[in-house]
Structure 1
Amino acid sequence: MTQQIVLATASIFGALSIVLGAFGAHALKKKLTSEQLASFETGVKYQMYHGIVLLVLGFNFNPNFSNAVLFFIIGTILFSFSIYGLVLSDAFGKKMKFLGPITPIGGLCLLVGWVLVLLNCLA
């Protein structure tokens, strides 16, 4: 993992969270129930939070945090994008139920990333 990859991924996550947040708030507002919109917003928030974390780790690049960075990237993709898929597929009448178990796996990856950050800080 290089500093450029970490910073590029952080930038992509940040930019996409702005686009998807605006898309959810405006274009999907009439299509989604309040519960679906809240779920979609959760995906956007977690994507932005972890984009910011990756930005901080990228600017303070240390190869010891590479595994944490990897878990943050994988976790964000699995967690946030499975939520987007579940919400959008449900809203358009073709719910992709197979995405349901992916969300908690993504959350677990995010948790592992945070634990790895803690362990590296304590080492």
Structure 2
Amino acid sequence: METVLLLVHLIVAVCLIGIVLLQRSEGGGLGMGGGGGAVTGRAAATAMTKLTWLFGTVFLVNSVILTVLSAQNATGSSVIDLLPDDGAVEAPVVPSGESLLPPTPGDAPLTPPRSE
């Protein structure tokens, strides 16, 4: 079920991106331009706008359903449960404090003088 919803979600997302990119620009983005845009009393309910609303609504509802399903499937499980039970997991080796310090100038390799 979750795989089918993820596939539907992907298809709806691609369709939503495509339908938004196909719409014509009205020049009113972020208040720039002089097209009037949302200030005018005209309600532009074209087929593209209706499809945008439809895809957006399906995307939102599908997102909520996927979130609920994911939360239900995640209860009581942990990544620790995936570890083998045979005790083969060892703790990592912690380096000594001296190996974490930067090298001193005396530790630099000796280089022969340049001959020019």
Task: Tell me which interval the TM-score lies in, with the shorter structure as reference length.
Answer: 0.3 to 0.5
**TM-score normalised by the chain length of structure 1:** 0.37
**TM-score normalised by the chain length of structure 2:** 0.38
- Please identify the structure whose Cα radius of gyration is greater: 2
